[in-house]
Structure formats: C-alpha cells, structure tokens
Amino acid sequence: METPKKRILVVYHSQGGTMKRMATRFAAGAAKEQNIEVIFKKATDATIEDLLNCHGIAIGSPEYFGTMAGMIKDFFDRTYEVAHEKTIGLPYVVFVCAGNDGRGAIAQIERLAAGYKWKKVQPHLRVVGSPNTQDDDAVEELGQTMAAGIDFGIF
C-alpha cells in the first residue's frame, strides 16, 4: 500500500503577476519531492479545509505600503478561530516581494503565525524590486528545502 503524500499549502496574493510567479516557482521546488503534494491557492480561494489538511504552509505576499497584502490578512482572519488550536507547530515559511523594503510584511505575517503557534522552519525570503533569475532560483530552492524537511520529518 502506498503511503499518502504529505501536503504543503502555498497561499499567495498577486495583482500584477510577480507574486504568482514566485509562488509558482516555490510550488515547483516543493513538487520535486516525490512524497509531497502541493496545494496551490490564491489567498481568496484558500479554505479552512486546506489549512487543516496540510503538513506545512508557505505564504507569499507582496508588500503594500509597508504591510502584507490585505488578502493574506483575510486568509488569517477567516481561518484563525477554527485553526489556531488545531495547527499548533505547523511548519511555515514566508516569501515577500517589495518595492521598498519587505520587512513590514514579514513582521506582520510572523506576528500572526505566532498567534497560531506555527513553527518557522527556514529563513524567510525577501526580494526587493523585481525578482531576477537568482531570486527565482532561491524561491524554488526554498520550496524544495521545505518539502524535503517535511517529507523526512525534520520540520
């Protein structure tokens, strides 16, 4: 009998396509691990069931005016009451693209993840300006590293 795959939920928000590209590369990296299934969702489409049935979560957000995207905050708002006691210790990582700095969005997401008591498993990726080939490769590597860690039970 085949062992069920572990799931990584990739939640992102993108208006201009940059964050979707980054999230796609993260998902491609995670999918390189054979025992991992990637659930790839826009924040508006991600559900409580997606969150409750994953083994790790990656959150991709642009930074707008020093904060995370409102749709990412909406995802947290919609899932907190049901999920915060059921997802304690969930491995998570964040990747942010910002025109200026990106630290504000990361800090906000970390604060919310702390409310869920999730476990940060890799340094968050912060891209300032338009992502280049190195940034694309870095986000893909982040996805594969997270997936491998979840697959092997390290995270």
pLDDT tens-digit series, residues 108-123: 999 999 999 999 999 9
Q: Is residue 1's pLDDT more than 80? A: no
Tokens 């909406």 belong to which residue?
A: 74
> What sign results for the dihedral spanned by CA atoms 17, 31, 126, 59?
positive
- Neighbouring-strand partners of residue 41: 11
Please report how many Cα atoms fall inside a 13 Å half-sphere around the Cα of residue 72, on the Cβ side.
28
Percentage of the chain surpassing pLDDT 70?
99
Q: What are the structural domains of the chain?
A: 6-151 (3.40.50.360)
